[in-house]
Amino acid sequence: MHSFSLNQNIIDEVINTSLIAGEAILDIYRTNFDIEIKKDFSPLTQADLASHEIILSSLKKLTPNIPILSEESSEIPYEQRSGWIDYWLVDPLDGTKEFINKNGEFTTNIALISENRPIFGVIYAPAIKEIYWGSHLSGSFMQISGKKPKKISVKSKASNITNVVSSRSHKSDTEEHFLNKIGDHKEHQIGSSLKFCLLASGKADIYPRFGPTSEWDIAAGDAILSYAGGGIVDSEKNNILYNIKEDLLNGSFFAFTNRETMDKLYLDFFKSVI
């Protein structure tokens, strides 16, 4: 049982909010936008802030009693948010570096967390007009350029050659070491949370991540992948839990499509290189 009663109307409204925020991002994407540098040295653009305002305004109207934690308003003391049972977790523009480089691989991420796990998530990639969502109510879906939504699921069997997704902007030496150890594989570099979407839609097998990420980077992808039949485990092979500690950084994790692949590659290789 989940404490918050998710329904199809909320799902539809959040999908629509993602589309609206995505259009606002594209309006700025087409201009010569300014770039600021935040305290953590990550880039910030007008698009991050425009998307943030649209999403927060919509969610406050839709679910006025559910708190919101966004990358662009994350200075909420742990003493306050530790009591949250349900909350929205938002990354208004994931893949800001991809946005700046104008390669199209950026997304908006919106997740609903209930009792420290995502029960619903939406990822929209406005430049390529692809939207993905998943929930405990009805599974996971993708929709391309306004066509009819299509239910998606992960690969049911392990591949002879492992299809690995990796970050375009955040490759680590540990990841290279892991890839060198696992044998035959194809690597697909892609930005932002689209990596989870490739796994959820059956186009890849694993996504090992050794560098730091924030909880808002992965929550929507966690939902979509999990409700498509896959999952994410941390370095101790447990599900990722959200909002259980003061800092919002994740450690290493291993996203997978089927248990056979996860058991083999995790036990044989992943843990050995963390």
pLDDT for position 4: 77
111 lies in the same domain as 167: no
Are both 189 and 55 inside the same structural domain? no
Backbone angles phi, psi at 240, to 5 degrees: -70, 130
How far is C-alpha 152 from the geometric centre of its chain's CA atoms?
16
On average, the pLDDT of the chain sits at: 93
More confident position, 211 or 241: 241
**Are the beta carbons of 66 and 74 closer than 8 angstroms?**
no
Confidence of residue 2 (pLDDT cuts 50, 70, 90): low
Tell me whether residue 232 is in a domain.
yes
Q: Which of 152, 175, 207 is the last residue of a domain?
A: 152
Q: What is the pLDDT of residue 172?
A: 81
Taking residues 90-102, what's their average pLDDT? 93
* pTM summary value: 0.95
Could you tell me if 206 and 88 lie in one domain?
no
Q: What is the CATH number of the domain that holds 53?
A: 3.30.540.10
Smallest CA-to-CA distance from 130 within 219, 201, 218 is with 201
Q: Which of 120-124, 159-163, 263-267 has the highest mean pLDDT?
A: 120-124
Residue 157 included in any domain: no
Is 78 inside any structural domain? yes
For residue 244, is it within any domain?
Answer: yes
94 part of a folded domain: yes
215 and 144 inside one domain? no
Q: Is 91 found in the same domain as 212? A: no
Q: Is residue 242 part of a domain?
A: yes
Give tens-digit pLDDT for 160-195.
899 999 988 767 889 989 999 998 999 999 999 999
Comparing 107 with 262, the larger pLDDT belongs to: 107
Helices (H), the chain: 8-29, 46-62, 78-81, 96-101, 173-181, 194-200, 215-226, 259-265, 271-273
Backbone phi, psi, residue 175, to 5°: -65, -40
Residues 166 and 134 in one domain: no
- pLDDT tens sequence across 204-227: 999 999 988 999 999 999 999 999
Domain's final residue, options 109, 134, 152: 152
Note whether residue 240 is domain-resident.
yes
DSSP annotation of 81 reads H
Q: Map residue 181 onto helix, strand or coil.
A: helix
Residues 167 and 144 in one domain: no
* Residues 53 and 123 both lie in one domain: yes
Question: Which amino acid would we find at residue 67?
Answer: P
**Residue carrying structure tokens 């680590």:** 172
Task: Count structural domains, the chain.
Answer: 2
Q: 21 and 56 in one domain?
A: yes
Lowest average pLDDT, out of 120-124, 136-140, 157-161, 185-189, goes to 157-161
Distances from the Cα of 80 to the Cα of 67, 88, 89, 93, 118, angstroms: 11, 15, 15, 25, 20
Is the separation of the CB atoms in 205 and 164 below 8 Å?
Answer: yes
Contact 45, 34 (CB under 8 A): yes
- 112 & 195 share domain: no
Tell whether 2 is covered by a domain: no
Q: Exposed/middle/buried for 144, CB within 10 Å: 0-12, 13-18, 19+?
A: middle
Go through the chain and tell me how many residues it has.
Answer: 274
For residue 239, what is the DSSP state?
Answer: B
The secondary element (H helix, E strand) that includes residue 206 is: strand 206-209
Q: Mention every residue, 6+ apart, whose C-beta is less than 8 A from residue 126.
A: 19, 22, 23, 25, 26, 29, 106, 107, 108
Is 54 in the same domain as 127? Answer: yes
Distance of alpha carbon 115 from alpha carbon 37, whole angstroms: 34
Q: What is the CATH number of the domain that holds 246?
A: 3.40.190.80
pLDDT of residue 146: 82
- Please state the rounded mean pLDDT for residues 84-94: 97
For position 173, what pLDDT does the model report? 86
Distance CA 13, CA 8 (A): 9
Q: Where among 152, 181, 214 does a domain terminate?
A: 152
Same domain as 132, residue 16: yes
Range of the domain at 183: 162-273
